[in-house]
C-alpha cells in the first residue's frame, strides 16, 4: 500500500491529524467514534511508516515525517475534497456556571467587549470553545474543519466529536450542560469545474448568490460555498449525474444504430 493510498481515506487522515497532540487509542476511538480494531490497525500502519512514535506506552504522537505527509495530502488532495467548516453548536449551562467562571477566569482568554456578559474562550482538542457567562449562561463549541467526500459522514463525524468533547468539558469543569442546539449552519466548500467556467467567462474572482458563493480559494482552486447541505450534496454529485446521463445517451445511440431504438 502506497503512502498516497493510506491517506486517501478520510478516516486515516483524521486519525493521523489526531496524533498532532499526544493521544491514546481510546481517545481516538472516543473522538472519532470508530472501532478499536480500526484505530489499532491504522496506528500500526502509521508507526511502520514512521509517521508517529510512541514516547510512552499506549501513547502516540506525530513525527516530522507524519506532519510532512499531512501537509502533502492537504496540498495535493485538498482541492478535490469537500470542506466543512464553521459548524457551531451551543449548550445552556444548567448547573455550575459560577464554578466554571472561577476556573477559567485566569486560564481562558477574556473578551471584555460584551455588555452584562463575561465571555471566555479557548481551544480544547483543537475545537474553539466559548463560555458566555451572564443571566443565561451558554457554552458554544465550533467543530474542527473537515475534509472528505461523503458530506453526511463528515457532518456525523464532526457532530460525534462535538458530543464527546461536551462530555469531557462537563466532567473536567464540573458543569451540567443542557440540550445541544445548532448555533450556526455549517459552511460547505465543494470543488466545482462549473464554478471555474462561470468565473472565467464573467472575468470574476467571486460571485455571490442567495444560495451561496462561487469563489476561487487559495490552495484549493474553484469552489461553490453554501450553508445548504442538500444543495452541497447535489453540487458534489453533479459530475456523477452528468456522467450517468452521458452513459445513457451512448446506450440509446448504440441501440438506435442496431435498429432496436430510434432517436
Q: CA–CA separation, 172 vs 86, rounded Å?
A: 25
3-class DSSP assignment, residue 117: coil
Locate cell 473537515: which residue? Answer: 146
pLDDT for the residue numbered 2: 46
**Full-model pTM:** 0.61
Q: Residue 4: its pLDDT value, please? A: 46
R_g of the chain computed on alpha carbons: 23
φ, ψ of residue 164 in degrees (nearest 5):
-65, -40
Q: How far apart are CA 248 and CA 243, in angstroms?
A: 9
Segments forming the whole domain that contains residue 73: 3-80
HSE-CB at 87 with a 13 A cutoff on CA atoms is 23
Strand order of the β-sheet with 176-184 is: 109-111, 118-124, 127-133, 138-142, 88-95, 176-184
Q: How many domains does the chain have?
A: 3
d(CA 45, CA 76): 21
- Has residue 182 been placed in a domain? yes
Task: Take residue 177 and report the three cell numbers written for it.
Answer: 450542560
Are 26 and 60 members of one domain? yes
* 76 and 87 inside one domain: no
Residues 208 and 180 in one domain: no
75-85 pLDDT, tens per residue? 666 677 888 98
Query: Residues 140, 69: one domain?
Result: no
Q: What is the pLDDT of residue 1?
A: 44
- Cβ-contact 66, 46 below 8 angstroms: yes
Residues of the chain with pLDDT under 50: 1-5, 263
Amino acid at each position: 500500500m502506497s503512502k498516497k493510498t493510506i491517506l486517501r481515506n478520510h478516516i486515516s487522515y483524521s486519525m493521523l491529524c489526531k496524533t498532532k497532540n499526544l493521544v491514546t487509542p481510546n481517545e481516538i476511538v472516543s473522538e472519532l467514534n470508530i472501532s478499536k480494531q480500526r484505530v489499532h490497525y491504522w496506528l500500526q500502519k502509521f508507526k511502520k511508516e514512521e509517521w508517529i512514535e510512541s514516547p510512552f506506552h499506549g501513547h502516540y504522537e506525530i513525527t516530522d515525517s507524519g506532519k510532512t505527509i499531512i501537509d502533502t495530502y492537504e496540498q495535493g488532495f485538498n482541492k478535490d475534497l469537500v470542506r466543512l467548516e464553521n459548524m457551531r453548536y451551543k449548550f445552556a449551562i444548567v448547573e455550575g456556571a459560577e464554578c466554571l467562571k472561577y476556573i477559567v477566569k485566569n486560564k481562558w482568554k477574556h473578551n471584555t467587549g460584551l455588555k452584562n456578559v463575561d465571555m471566555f474562550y479557548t481551544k480544547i482538542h483543537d475545537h474553539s470553545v466559548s463560555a458566555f457567562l451572564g443571566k443565561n449562561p451558554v457554552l458554544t463549541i465550533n467543530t474542527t474543519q473537515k475534509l472528505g467526500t461523503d458530506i453526511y459522514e463528515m457532518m456525523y463525524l464532526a457532530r460525534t466529536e462535538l458530543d464527546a468533547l461536551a462530555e469531557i468539558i462537563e466532567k473536567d469543569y464540573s458543569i451540567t450542560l443542557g440540550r445541544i442546539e445548532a448555533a450556526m449552519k455549517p459552511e460547505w466548500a465543494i470543488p466545482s469545474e462549473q464554478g471555474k467556467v462561470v468565473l472565467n467567462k464573467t472575468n470574476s474572482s467571486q460571485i455571490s448568490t442567495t444560495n451561496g458563493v462561487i469563489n476561487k480559494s487559495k490552495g484549493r482552486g474553484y469552489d461553490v460555498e453554501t450553508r445548504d447541505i442538500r444543495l452541497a450534496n447535489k453540487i458534489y454529485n453533479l459530475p456523477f449525474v452528468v456522467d450517468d446521463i452521458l452513459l445513457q445517451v451512448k446506450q440509446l445511440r448504440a441501440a438506435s444504430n442496431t435498429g432496436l431504438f430510434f432517436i
